Amino acid sequence: MKAVGARLPRYDGVAHVTGRTVFVDDVRVPGTLWVKALRSPVHRADVSGLDVSKAEAMKGVRAVITWKDVPLLEYGHLSALGIPADEPLLAKDDVRYKGQPIAVVAAEDEDTAMAAVEAIKIDFDEKPALLDVRKAFDPDAPVIHQWGNWYPHFEAEMDRRQIRKGDIERAFEEADVIVQGVYRPAAIEHVALETQSCQVVPEANGRLTIHSCTQALYFSLGVVAAHLQVPLNKLKLVGGTVGGGFGGKVDTATETVCCLLAMKSGRPVRWRWTREEEFLCSSTRAPWHMEIADAVTNDGWILGRRMLTLHDSGAYARFSPYGLTKHSFHHTGAYTIPNLHFDGYVVFTNRVPTTAMRGFGVTSISFATETHMSRIADVLGLDPWEIRLKNANRIADTSPNGISYTDPSTVSVVKALAEGVGVELSAALRAMTRDPREGDLLPEHLVAQVGSLEEVH
């Protein structure tokens, strides 16, 4: 192998520094129309009386689309992972987040497209919005999703991810201290410098060429084909350089709409979201609400963990069930805790639907677990390095969902971190390895981890 370990320049580096890299919005095709969307101005409302006739009649407008123009209005992007469809491409009877697209216009120029959007008539009957995941479970909370306020379609129609392992009651009885923490990381915008962009060109042979900023070309190909109800070979996706994605360009947010407008107008179309649209209604990393209570001993063993997670999915499911699933399997982080009581919910709110962002599902628990480990050290008056190395995953320890570790790296990584930041570990800590536990490193609560798994849902 010649490339591995070598320091090679980017193959597109020279194009970047000479301004020649072609991003989606840099493609120029004669006769291309500008696209603008009508978006919900409120968090939640029933909608009626959608009338696009004035927009359609406006000079320079070449096509207007609504939910009526979409062959398959709802398609579950992760249906292959068992997540059913719940989200219309364009709003039909109601809107569930501020910024939700309702109708989209293609016109000769940007000003005309904006004027056409303003000419669309629609009636909003505003409804009370649910904006706080904690309120979703109140008996008097508004019900904002056809499935109820939290996702009910995990395997065996479970309404949560649930893990029960070992004997949590005994762990809490035998603990010296219970250390609690509530962790609520907020939503994060991806803020890729390139906003969502798409250009679609209808070809003479009946195909559609789609210039897309998607991070997942084949995935988006499947989504567009499903919404349009066309064979895959009717679509030609052209990717290339994405101006930053970070997980925010996997929602196939623009491609289907542009295809419909290109088909209806017979012209190439171009949609570039503004930075305001991005902040208003592009999907974000999800906010999380995590409550952790750890049963710990005075000498730093974590006997058991009770945990409740509320994942804010926003108005629709998108990839959230998948994120929560990863989260649940990792909810002890890099550490072994044999007695577990975990419940995790994907909760709907009238906020922007949340999506992938760099390690989604797991970054939340990493943050919460690491903070909690330091908190435990603080409460017990112990060294935070010792807490981590003692409870670190070792060979033959088992994960929350019962998988036996064969190659865990916690011990070596923690030691490398100490070295990297110039902390000298004690001899006892330096002597620790990831070898299967024995002697002092195998206290009674860690005996017989395999076989004590009761429920994983």
Partner 1 sequence: MTQATEVLIPTSAAEAATAFGDGSGVTVIAGGTIVVPEITYGRLKPGKALLLARAGLSGVTRQGTTVTIGAGTPVQELVDLSAPLGPCAANVADLEIRSQGTLGGNVCAGPGPDAPRGDLQGPLLALGAIARSAGADGERTEPLDDFLEDRGNRLLLDVSFEEPAAGAFAAIDYPHTHEYTVLAVSGARAADGTLRFAATGLADHARLLSGDPAAAAGEVRLEDDALASSWYRAKVLPVLVRRVLTELEESA
Partner 2 sequence: MNLTVNGVTHEIESWPLTTLLDVLREELEITSPKAGCEQGGCGACTVLVDGTPQRACLTAVAAIDGASITTAEGLGTPDDLSPLQQAFTHHYAAQCGFCTSGMMMAAHAYLDGGGTDDRHAIQEALAGHVCRCTGYVKIIAAVAAAARGDSFDLTTTAPSAGMVNVGGVK
The whole-angstrom separation of Cα 161 and Cα 341 is: 11
Q: Which tokens belong to 135?
A: 């309120």
Binders in 113-132 for partner 1, by CB under 8 A:
114-115
- Residue closer to partner 1 (CB basis): 109 or 125: 109
- Residue closer to partner 1 (CB basis): 111 or 203: 111
Q: Which tokens belong to 2?
A: 């010649």
- Residue closer to partner 2 (CB basis): 95 or 258: 258
- Least Å distance, CB 117 to partner 1, is 9
Residue 265 has φ and ψ, to the nearest 5°, of -90, -20
- Residue closer to partner 2 (CB basis): 42 or 192: 192
β partners of residue 335: 392
Residue 152 CB neighbours (<10 A): 14
- Residue closer to partner 1 (CB basis): 46 or 110: 110
Whether the CB-CB separation of 322 and 286 falls below 8 Å is answered with: no
- Least Å distance, CB 450 to partner 1, is 50
Which option in partner 2, partner 1, none does residue 194 bind, with CB closer than 5 to 8 A by kind?
A: partner 2
- Least Å distance, CB 351 to partner 1, is 17
The whole-angstrom separation of Cα 207 and Cα 230 is: 10
Whether the CB-CB separation of 401 and 449 falls below 8 Å is answered with: no
Does residue number 279 form part of the binding site for partner 1 (CB under 8 A)?
no
- Residue closer to partner 2 (CB basis): 191 or 280: 191
Which option in partner 2, partner 1, none does residue 381 bind, with CB closer than 5 to 8 A by kind?
A: none
- In the list 48, 79, 180, 274, the residue contacting partner 1 (rule: CB under 8 A) is 274
Of the candidates 357, 316, 13, the residue with the CA atom closest to the CA atom of residue 151: 316
Binding mask 95-114 for partner 1 (x = CB under 8 A): ----------------x--x
- Residue closer to partner 2 (CB basis): 78 or 187: 187
The whole-angstrom separation of Cα 258 and Cα 213 is: 13
Query: 166 to each of 270, 304, 324, 341, 372, how far by Cα in Å?
Result: 57, 9, 22, 9, 21
Of the candidates 242, 217, 413, the residue with the CA atom closest to the CA atom of residue 334: 413
Nearest-5° Cα angle at 57, 271 to 206: 50
Which option in partner 2, partner 1, none does residue 8 bind, with CB closer than 5 to 8 A by kind?
A: partner 2
Q: Which tokens belong to 332?
A: 């002890």
Does residue number 187 form part of the binding site for partner 1 (CB under 8 A)?
no
- Residue closer to partner 1 (CB basis): 109 or 455: 109
Of the candidates 278, 255, 299, the residue with the CA atom closest to the CA atom of residue 390: 299
Half-sphere exposure of 98 (CA within 13 A, CB side): 13
Which option in partner 1, partner 2, none does residue 442 bind, with CB closer than 5 to 8 A by kind?
A: none
Does residue number 418 form part of the binding site for partner 1 (CB under 8 A)?
no
Query: 315 to each of 240, 402, 409, how far by Cα in Å?
Result: 31, 33, 38
- In the list 12, 155, 276, 299, the residue contacting partner 1 (rule: CB under 8 A) is 276
β partners of residue 348: 314
Whether the CB-CB separation of 195 and 253 falls below 8 Å is answered with: no
User: Can you give the binding site for partner 2, defined by CB under 8 A?
Assistant: 5-10, 12-23, 25-26, 28, 190-195, 241-244, 246, 272, 274-275, 416-417, 419-420
Which option in partner 2, partner 1, none does residue 48 bind, with CB closer than 5 to 8 A by kind?
A: none
Which option in partner 1, partner 2, none does residue 114 bind, with CB closer than 5 to 8 A by kind?
A: partner 1
- Residue closer to partner 2 (CB basis): 416 or 448: 416
Which option in partner 1, partner 2, none does residue 2 bind, with CB closer than 5 to 8 A by kind?
A: none
Half-sphere exposure of 437 (CA within 13 A, CB side): 24
Binders in 150-179 for partner 1, by CB under 8 A:
none
The whole-angstrom separation of Cα 221 and Cα 209 is: 11
- Least Å distance, CB 187 to partner 2, is 16
Does residue number 217 form part of the binding site for partner 1 (CB under 8 A)?
no
- Least Å distance, CB 108 to partner 2, is 12
Q: Where are the alpha helices (DSSP H) in 89-155?
A: 110-118
Judged by the rule CB under 8 A, the positions of this chain that interact with partner 1 are 111, 114-115, 274, 276
